[in-house]
């Protein structure tokens, strides 16, 4: 693995609490890693969202934040960064990605309209559904196959999309959504060819095409590395070409743009921009700040420029590949190919004796915390099941790598923890849900183990060193 293109100037102490402390903390959190206190966590791989390290340039820019309610200088710097890197004409800042999804859904979705998309993201789908729309999965089948080594599992199934567009056309479809480095499939990219084909289909049927651009930079690296004809191109050029294919985009800037908070919706159409601006004042704030501070917009503008720096992006992708490689070598079942921002454990193969109704991924995430203080996130039936619909889809645990935060030693430690739990897997049972929230239940649901978790595992050789 290449050395990172940064060095560390400010550090945040972390501590591995002892096993009894972790056992208590886990029980108090209802076996849901979202409900742990971060001070009880040693290596925090819950999410790459808002957890990156700011650069010195971002911190310096924050000093220049213009906190004017309207006409803020910082807004115009943000707008210029979006124009320079992506080219979209109108930028409406929001407090984070879901703020952008909310505005877009309120403007484009009406009861009964369809939103075809590659798989789904939790908040993206929820906003469409709350606006009365229906989410339609048009991902390629490989997206739902953790063992398929297809290079572009973020592609849209063109035949499936065409069927939806033909049957509903054109007023039955609110917009088509394609997500870069498809999070729920394991951070899997789309190819430029596929994106162009979706562009052509949506144009033919007169339907808006919206990109979830949250992880566009990593997607561009995968295009460069895996798609014939792009190897020699500068990364900013590929990013720009991706952005050129769509009518607009939603962005959670808490990922690729290295900021703790912020996002935006960007569109080319003047009238659509006006309608979004009418709503942003209701839900987020004046269009020149959209729910974030002037200094946040400064950090974001600088972060957008850094997100097109190939050395920076490549290092993030290589960190995931490094962790994934250690796990594959040890025979741990993970989603392949390793994607953008995370390594995803395949809980169905990791714990084949635990039925999906007993939440194997949730149980595995809890066990990783208990074994090594490593926090991960369930991305299976708890996150994926929607209402009463049956769910037999992916059952994953995400080890998500914050950008510019952890070293190779941390990742090696994480691999050792996962491998220790893998060795103990036969003794691990599932969970029972004791509390289920009405919306996005994975955030706050509570569980109990069906049998005491990892009792006696402190005697294994790896655990012995840290118990």
Question: Which range binds ligand F0G by CB under 6 A, 2-10, 91-99, 160-168, 317-325?
Answer: 91-99
Nearer to ligand F0G, 42 or 121 (CB): 121
Shortest reach from residue 399's CB to ligand F0G, in Å = 12
Residues within window 115-144 making contact with ligand F0G, judged by CB under 6 A = 121, 123-124
**In this chain, which of 191, 252, 307, 417 binds ligand F0G, going by CB under 6 A?**
252
Nearer to ligand F0G, 182 or 354 (CB): 182
**In this chain, which of 49, 72, 302, 457 binds ligand F0G, going by CB under 6 A?**
49
Question: Which range binds ligand F0G by CB under 6 A, 95-103, 138-146, 221-229, 445-453?
Answer: 95-103
Q: Which of 40, 66, 157, 212 is catalytic?
A: 212
CA distance 80 to 327: 42
Q: Which of 18, 24, 69, 392 is catalytic?
A: 69
Pairing assessment for the beta strands 446-449 and 431-435 based on DSSP bridges: antiparallel
Owner of token pair 């930079």? 217
Q: State yes or no: residue 97 binds ligand F0G (CB under 6 A).
A: yes
Specify the DSSP element, H or E, that contains 57: helix 56-62
Spacing of C-alpha 326 from chain mean position: 22
**In this chain, which of 96, 118, 302, 362 binds ligand F0G, going by CB under 6 A?**
96
Residues within window 207-226 making contact with ligand F0G, judged by CB under 6 A = 212, 214
CA distance 147 to 289: 44
| Strand, helix or coil for residue 324 | helix
| Strand, helix or coil for residue 21 | helix
**By the 8 A CB rule, do 356 and 381 touch?**
yes
CB-closest chain residue to ligand F0G: 97
Sign of CA dihedral 348, 392, 149, 4: negative
**By the 8 A CB rule, do 362 and 376 touch?**
no
Nearer to ligand F0G, 123 or 202 (CB): 123
Q: Which of 31, 75, 86, 121 is catalytic?
A: 121
Owner of token pair 């269009």? 287
Nearer to ligand F0G, 260 or 427 (CB): 260
Specify the DSSP element, H or E, that contains 398: strand 396-400
Nearer to ligand F0G, 371 or 378 (CB): 378
Give 352's contacts (C-beta < 8 A, 6+ positions apart). none
Q: What is the DSSP string of 401-448?
A: --TTT--HHHHHHHHHHHHHHHHTGGG---EEEEE--SSSGGGT-EEE
| Strand, helix or coil for residue 217 | helix
**By the 8 A CB rule, do 247 and 268 touch?**
yes
**In this chain, which of 183, 188, 217, 362 binds ligand F0G, going by CB under 6 A?**
183
- Concerning whether 442 is annotated as a catalytic residue, the answer is yes
Q: State yes or no: residue 302 binds ligand F0G (CB under 6 A).
A: no
- Concerning whether 69 is annotated as a catalytic residue, the answer is yes
**By the 8 A CB rule, do 187 and 340 touch?**
yes
CB neighbourhood size of 182 (10 A): 30
Shortest reach from residue 159's CB to ligand F0G, in Å = 24
Nearer to ligand F0G, 160 or 440 (CB): 440
One symbol per residue from 257 to 286: x for binding ligand F0G (CB under 6 A), - otherwise; what is it? ------x-----------------------
CA distance 435 to 455: 24
* Token representation of residue 437: 């929230």
Q: Choose among 317, 320, 329: nearest CA to 422.
A: 329
CA distance 435 to 53: 34
One symbol per residue from 138 to 177: x for binding ligand F0G (CB under 6 A), - otherwise; what is it? ----------------------------------------
CB neighbourhood size of 226 (10 A): 14
Q: Choose among 166, 120, 122, 160: nearest CA to 140.
A: 160
Q: Choose among 294, 245, 241: nearest CA to 93.
A: 294
Q: Which of 122, 123, 202, 417 is catalytic?
A: 122
- Concerning whether 255 is annotated as a catalytic residue, the answer is yes
**In this chain, which of 19, 22, 77, 98 binds ligand F0G, going by CB under 6 A?**
98
Question: Which range binds ligand F0G by CB under 6 A, 96-104, 240-248, 355-363, 410-418?
Answer: 96-104
Q: Which of 255, 348, 404, 462 is catalytic?
A: 255
Q: State yes or no: residue 47 binds ligand F0G (CB under 6 A).
A: yes
One symbol per residue from 435 to 464: x for binding ligand F0G (CB under 6 A), - otherwise; what is it? ------------------------------
Q: Which residues are catalytic?
A: 69, 121-122, 212, 255, 379, 442
> Which residue ranges make up the site for ligand F0G (CB under 6 A)?
47, 49, 96-98, 121, 123-124, 179, 183, 212, 214, 252, 254, 263
């Amino acid at each position: 693995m290449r050395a990172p293109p940064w060095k560390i100037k400010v550090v945040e102490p972390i501590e591995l609490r002892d096993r009894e402390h972790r056992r208590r903390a886990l029980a108090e959190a209802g076996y849901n890693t979202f409900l742990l206190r971060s001070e009880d966590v040693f290596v925090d791989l819950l999410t790459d969202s808002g957890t990156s390290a700011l650069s010195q340039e971002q911190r310096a820019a924050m000093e220049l934040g213009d906190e004017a309610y309207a006409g803020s200088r910082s807004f115009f710097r943000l707008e210029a960064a979006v124009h320079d890197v992506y080219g979209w004409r109108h930028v409406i800042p929001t407090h984070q990605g879901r703020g952008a999804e909310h505005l877009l859904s309120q403007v484009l979705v009406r009861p009964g309209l369809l939103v075809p998309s590659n798989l789904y993201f939790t908040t993206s789908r929820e906003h469409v559904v709350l606006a009365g729309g229906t989410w339609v999965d048009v991902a390629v089948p490989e997206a739902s196959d953790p063992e398929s080594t297809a290079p572009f599992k973020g592609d849209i199934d063109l035949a499936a999309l065409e069927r939806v567009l033909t049957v509903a056309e054109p007023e039955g479809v609110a917009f088509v959504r394609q997500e870069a480095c498809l999070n729920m499939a394991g951070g899997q990219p789309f190819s430029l060819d596929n994106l162009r084909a979706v562009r052509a289909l949506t144009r033919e049927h007169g339907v808006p095409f919206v990109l979830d651009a949250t992880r566009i930079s990593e997607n561009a690296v995968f295009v460069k590395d895996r798609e014939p004809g792009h190897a020699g191109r500068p990364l900013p050029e590929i990013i720009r070409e991706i952005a050129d294919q769509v009518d607009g985009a939603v962005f959670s800037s808490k990922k690729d743009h290295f900021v703790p908070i912020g996002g935006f919706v960007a569109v080319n159409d003047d009238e659509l921009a006006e309608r979004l601006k009418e709503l942003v004042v209701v839900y987020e704030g004046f269009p020149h700040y959209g729910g974030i501070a002037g200094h946040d917009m400064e950090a974001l503008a600088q972060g957008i420029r850094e997100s097109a720096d190939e050395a920076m992006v490549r290092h993030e992708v290589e960190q995931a590949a490094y962790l994934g490689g250690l796990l594959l070598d040890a025979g741990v079942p993970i989603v392949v190919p390793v994607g953008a921002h995370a390594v995803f454990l395949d809980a169905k193969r990791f714990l084949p004796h635990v039925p999906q109704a007993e939440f194997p991924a949730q149980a595995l995430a809890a066990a990783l915390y208990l074994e090594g203080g490593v926090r991960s996130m369930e991305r299976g039936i708890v996150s994926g099941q929607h209402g009463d619909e049956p769910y037999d889809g992916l059952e994953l645990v995400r080890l998500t790598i914050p950008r510019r935060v952890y070293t190779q030693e941390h990742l090696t430690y994480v691999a050792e923890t996962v491998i220790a739990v893998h060795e103990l897997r036969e003794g691990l049972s599932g969970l029972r849900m004791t509390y289920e929230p009405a919306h996005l239940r994975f955030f706050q649901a509570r569980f109990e183990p069906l049998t005491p978790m990892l009792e006696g595992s402190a005697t294994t050789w790896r655990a012995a060193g840290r118990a």
